[in-house]
Structure 1
Amino acid sequence: MKKVIVIGCPGAGKSTFSRKLSAKTGLPIHYLDMIWHLPDKTTLSRDEFIKRLDEIVAQPEWIIDGNYLHTLPLRLNHCDTVFYFDLPLHICLAGAEERVGRKREDMPWSEDTMDPEFRQWIIDFPTQQAPVIDRLLNDCNAGVNVIVFHSREEADNFIEMLPDHPTLR
């Protein structure tokens, strides 16, 4: 496990898991939201985003946290492990609402309120995004280890079972 992607509905716990995984393994994290979104609430061009992502996947070790379905095939072609958070919608909505107003290392700004459009995107995730993710995961290389979590407890148990990274002891 050297090239990892972490995907799933916003609010599911992807970034928390990515931080725990990085702490346990020593793998560097790259948050797609931090690449795509600029501090002034604008975004990179798609070409620049892909260029930055190409630079990351060329590295020997990484965790890439985030969905961005238009780049998922690229990441699937370079990863060895996928962690997919397939949690119930109410858990994801609550998780997204809990982080409103909090400074986060995975986003260049914090919101004071839940954006209605973002909330709707979460609500639509199971019918709009999840089927695309499922299809791409079914079609990915046989050598890619796909691990699906249906609860945060499953994710935490996975982290607990991992040995500590030798250079982090």
Structure 2
Amino acid sequence: MLRVAILGNAGGGKSTLARRLGEKHAIPHFEIDTFLWREGWVPAPLEIYTAKHERIIAGESWVIDGLGHRNSTQARIDRATEIILVDMPLWMHFWLAAERQIAWQSGKLEHAPGGLSAMPPTRDLFRTIWEIEQDWMPDIRRLCTEAFDAGKRLTLIHNVDELNTLAEDLT
């Protein structure tokens, strides 16, 4: 049984890492954005999100990447056997998100977030990254630290080199 929650701000490589982890361990990978959003970046109804999230975390083995709804994070952390927190400097999330926007616009993005066909407006994406850093990440960091203190395995990713090293170890 391996249940991995990969958390962190947008643009940090969570989904790419999660796909590799799922492939290496032959466990299902779930990208929260696929059931958090509908086409046009319209939020899915909360009851649909909640039901899907509860079904997934009840599973025996999984890797889930993303933040989702704020009130679902604790349950995911509680059920996880391992947590990976992608917690790079804010400017790096902006940089990587901008690179993804450029790749998406030029048709070179292999995996669109949430499997959506239209990219989010860059201004909205950057505003979200800022708000998550200011409003969410202090609580996410605290929850991860508490889980670690309670005996959960926690891997912290602070820069792209650490992210790439972890990803390379999975191949």
Shift of 1:110: 4.2
User: Do structure 1's residue 146 and structure 2's residue 147 form an aligned pair?
Assistant: no
Shift of 1:20: 1.7
Unaligned runs of 5+ in 2: none
Letter in 2 for 1:49: Y
Summarize the Cα distance change of 1:137–1:58 in structure 2 as closer, same or farther, 3 Å threshold.
same
Q: Tell me the SS of whatever aligns to 2:156.
A: strand
Summarize the Cα distance change of 1:109–1:160 in structure 2 as closer, same or farther, 3 Å threshold.
closer
Question: 1 CA distance for matches of 2:17 and 2:9?
Answer: 13
Letter in 2 for 1:53: H
Letter in 1 for 2:165: N
Question: 2 CA distance for matches of 1:113 and 1:82?
Answer: 27
Which residue of the partner structure matches residue 167 of structure 1? none
Shift of 1:40: 5.1
Which residue of the partner structure matches residue 80 of structure 2? 79
Which residue of the partner structure matches residue 50 of structure 1? 50
Shift of 1:144: 1.6
Letter in 1 for 2:161: E
TM-score by length of 1: 0.84
Shift of 1:94: 1.4
Contact kept, 8 Å, 1:8 with 1:66, in 2: the verdict is yes
Letter in 2 for 1:32: I
Name the % identity: 23
Which residue of the partner structure matches residue 65 of structure 1? 65
Instruction: Encode CA deviations 1:62-112: one digit per residue, 9 max, x unaligned.
Output: 001101222101101111101000111121111111122236254232445
Which of the two has greater helix per residue?
2
Which residue of the partner structure matches residue 125 of structure 1? 132
* Aligned-residue CA RMSD (Å): 2.2
Instruction: Encode CA deviations 1:17-48: one digit per residue, 9 max, x unaligned.
Output: 11221222212110110011123543322122
Contact kept, 8 Å, 2:36 with 2:43, in 1: the verdict is yes
Letter in 1 for 2:151: G
Question: 2 CA distance for matches of 1:138 and 1:156?
Answer: 23
Question: 2 CA distance for matches of 1:82 and 1:112?
Answer: 28
How many residues align? The count is: 163
TM-score by length of 2: 0.84
Superposed, which structure 2 residues align to 1:1-169 within 5 Å? 2-39=2-39, 41-68=41-68, 69-100=70-101, 101=104, 102=109, 104-111=111-118, 114-140=121-147, 142-161=150-169
